[in-house]
Amino acid sequence: MAVASSLPHVLVTGGAGFIGSHTVLELVNQGYNVVVVDNLCNSCEEPLRRIQKLAGLPQPLPFHNIDLTDREGLRQVFQQHNITSVIHFAALKAVGESVHKPLMYYRNNITGTLNLVETMVEFGVKNIVFSSSATVYAADYDGNALRESNELGCTSPYGRTKLFMENIIKDVVDAEQGWNAIMLRYFNPTGAHESGTMGEDPQQIPNNLMPYISQVAIGKLEKVHVFGTDYNTRDGTGVRDYIHVMDLAEAHVVALKRLTNNNGYEIFNLGSGTGQTVLEMIAAMKEACGRDIPYVNDPRRAGDIDTILCDPTKASKELGFTVHRDLKQMCADLWRWQQNNPNGYS
């Protein structure tokens, strides 16, 4: 089959999104040729233009506005570019929304992954890094750090789609020789690029704590809602494990390089291994921005638990990845992004 571009390319699905765009920047900075596919349902093209500027690229990145449920459109991308590996981010990702619209999540996330993997099979592409999630784990009420061997047990349709997507990839790896796949299960990404020109841009009211706090700090939202103050933690609020988005981006590139070791199917947790409470995150952001951040105590949300922590031991020993950026830098970079872009990429 004729290929328009003979250069080997990494296909990044969802490459205009928060984690995807930061990973694309890191890939480009490390010399990779990248093709981006994104349907822009929760993103826009602006981060791709900023990547071009930050990386000093003479031409725009190859970009295709395609939904992964469009099998023929996806085939045309593979026909046009010499794809040799894939990093798969594209998926709907709001836990709460998935509870209310489960069929939309199953159709989009699972059908999209099936189409992607089937197209990879058709074109002989057998290397994939998958953006998975700690939501695939059963709730650990003991507060112990989660290992890759922990019991799986999703509590939302979103989490179940991530686990199904993992299983689709694993079954293909088991069925066909030559496949290599790495599942990256990560915890709570936050922060922004240190330049302040790239960051998270929620299209609606943020679902996650840190973008919500930053929007309160900038004055877009009135106050932070603290859901539950009676948890078995040091200040009564829930403890979570946060990881800087640029650490996460670097981890994806490390995983991509590891695929050449031909280890088949592997799973790695990505997090800091330490946790902060909700009130500690508010205090850290207050220190970073020098502004008061009002908050109100609300009742617990159904399904929330005391502590969720990552055990990063396996990633450190086998993947060779450890985080380099601490909580102070996460907040400083997030605030720089929020100040420079009060309305996101708009």
CB 44 within 8 A of CB 21: no
Predicted structure pTM score:
0.96
Residue 335 structure tokens: 């605030």
- The one-letter code for the residue type at 319 is L
According to DSSP, the residues that pair with 60 across neighbouring strands are none
Tokens standing for residue 201: 């841009």
3-state class (DSSP) for residue 80: helix
Q: Tokens 């999209």 belong to which residue? A: 112
pLDDT score for 161 = 97
**What's the pLDDT score for residue 143?**
66
Residue range 178-205, pLDDT digits in tens? 999 999 999 999 999 999 999 999 888 8
Residue 301 burial by Cβ neighbours in a 10 Å radius (0-12, 13-18, 19+): exposed
Neighbours of 343 (CB within 10 A): 8
Helix orientation angle between 278-289 and 209-218, rounded to the nearest 10 degrees? 40
pLDDT band at 140 (very low <50, low <70, confident <90, very high): low
pLDDT band (50, 70, 90) for residue 142: low
Give me the count of residues in the chain.
346
Mean pLDDT value across residues 146-161 = 92
Tokens (6 digits) for 251: 């981890």
Comparing 36-50, 171-185, 266-280, 300-314, the range with the smallest average pLDDT is: 300-314
When pLDDT is averaged across residues 135-150 and rounded to a whole number, the result is 84
Confirm if 37 and 64 have CB atoms less than 8 A apart.
yes
Burial of residue 16 (CB within 10 Å: 0-12, 13-18, 19+) is buried
User: What is d(CA 183, CA 98) in angstroms, rounded to the nearest whole number?
Assistant: 21
Residue 283 scores a pLDDT above 80: yes
In what helix (H) or strand (E) does residue 71 lie, and over which residues does it extend?
A: helix 71-80
| Arithmetic mean of pLDDT, 74-97 | 95
Structural tokens at position 87: 């990093």
Report pLDDT for 2: 39
Q: Give the E-state strand segments of the chain in sequence order.
A: 8-13, 34-37, 63-64, 82-88, 127-133, 180-186, 188-190, 224-227, 239-240, 242-244, 265-270, 276-277, 295-298, 307-308
Give the catalytic positions in this structure: 158
In terms of DSSP bridges, do strands 224-227 and 265-270 run parallel, antiparallel, or are they unpaired?
Answer: unpaired
Report in angstroms the alpha-carbon separations of 332 from 54, 125, 164, 274, 325. Answer: 19, 40, 36, 19, 11
Q: Hey, how many other C-beta atoms are within 10 angstroms of the C-beta on 326?
A: 14
